Amino acid sequence: MLRFHQGSWDDAASLFQSARELSSRAGDRIGEFRALEHLIVLELERDCPSAARELCGPLMELAGKLRAGSEAPFAQCLSALAAIECGVEAHTELDAALSSLRIADAKHRLAYALLRAAGGDLRSGKIDVARARGEEALGLARLLDRPSETAQAQVVLLRAATAAGDAAEAGKIAEVLQQCRLDQAAAYVRQAALDVLAAQKGGSLGNRGRRKTI
């Protein structure tokens, strides 16, 4: 997890795979599931949805062997997210899996799934849906005191406000994002936050410049 947090994708993938194999040989299904779910999340975050999708079948099969909990709905969420990012229609499956995660009260897993789904919503122009999911994820992240998910939720909300053309709201969110504990966030989240803040600042400066010439 440390390598993942630092953004060392290849090292993290190798370690997750090793953990998966060791857990499998030991008959530790929970350990195997956790290693595999982290590996899938890693592949999604480094924009390799096809690799993630290949791993979702084994994850769902493994979830079916575990006692009832949040593992099965989270496996379904990851499978639907990977499918959508591969261009396959799976929004109905995603919504159903998110509802199941809410029932299971799996706050951390739900926050991640909501944020990943919101990113896809923004790319598809579903700004209101992305905003709603971002706000729900932000509430969960704050409740859990998770710096990465808190910052990531603010990134989603800032992108949504920018896409909606709401400069005032974008400015407010940018101020909040700047106060987030980015030094404690995962490397990829920190970079996303810095990128969106730079873009927002550039847009604001550009807007002020244009107003002066009117």
Domain of residue 27, CATH code:
1.25.40
Contact 113, 98 (CB under 8 A): yes
For residue 122, being part of any structural domain is answered with no
Query: Looking at the structure, do residues 87 and 140 belong to the same domain, yes or no?
Result: no
What's the rounded Cα separation, in Å, for the pair 42 and 48? 9
For residue 123, being part of any structural domain is answered with no
Query: Looking at the structure, do residues 3 and 98 belong to the same domain, yes or no?
Result: yes
Long-range interactions of 137-145: CB distance < 8 A, separation 24+: 137/110, 137/111, 140/107, 140/108, 140/110, 140/111, 140/114, 141/111, 143/107, 144/107, 144/108, 144/111
Query: Looking at the structure, do residues 8 and 75 belong to the same domain, yes or no?
Result: yes
pLDDT digits (tens, 9 = 90+) for 129-166: 999 999 999 999 999 999 999 999 999 999 999 999 99
Low-confidence residues in the chain, pLDDT < 70: 204-214
Query: Looking at the structure, do residues 16 and 76 belong to the same domain, yes or no?
Result: yes
What is the tally of structural domains in the chain? 2
Query: Would you state the pLDDT for residue 153?
Result: 98
What's the rounded Cα separation, in Å, for the pair 43 and 37? 10
Query: Looking at the structure, do residues 137 and 101 belong to the same domain, yes or no?
Result: no
Query: Looking at the structure, do residues 132 and 209 belong to the same domain, yes or no?
Result: yes
Among the candidates 62, 90, 105, a domain finishes at 105
Query: Looking at the structure, do residues 101 and 1 belong to the same domain, yes or no?
Result: yes
Query: Looking at the structure, do residues 134 and 211 belong to the same domain, yes or no?
Result: yes
Residue type, 211: R
Distances (CA, A) of 55 to 23, 133, 167: 16, 25, 41
Q: Note down the domain range covering 143.
A: 128-214
Query: Would you state the pLDDT for residue 204?
Result: 63
For residue 110, being part of any structural domain is answered with no
**8-state DSSP, 51:** H
Q: Is the pTM of this model over 0.95?
A: no
For residue 27, being part of any structural domain is answered with yes
**8-state DSSP, 146:** -
For residue 115, being part of any structural domain is answered with no
Q: Which positions ≥6 away from 37 have C-beta within 8 Å?
A: 59, 74, 75, 78
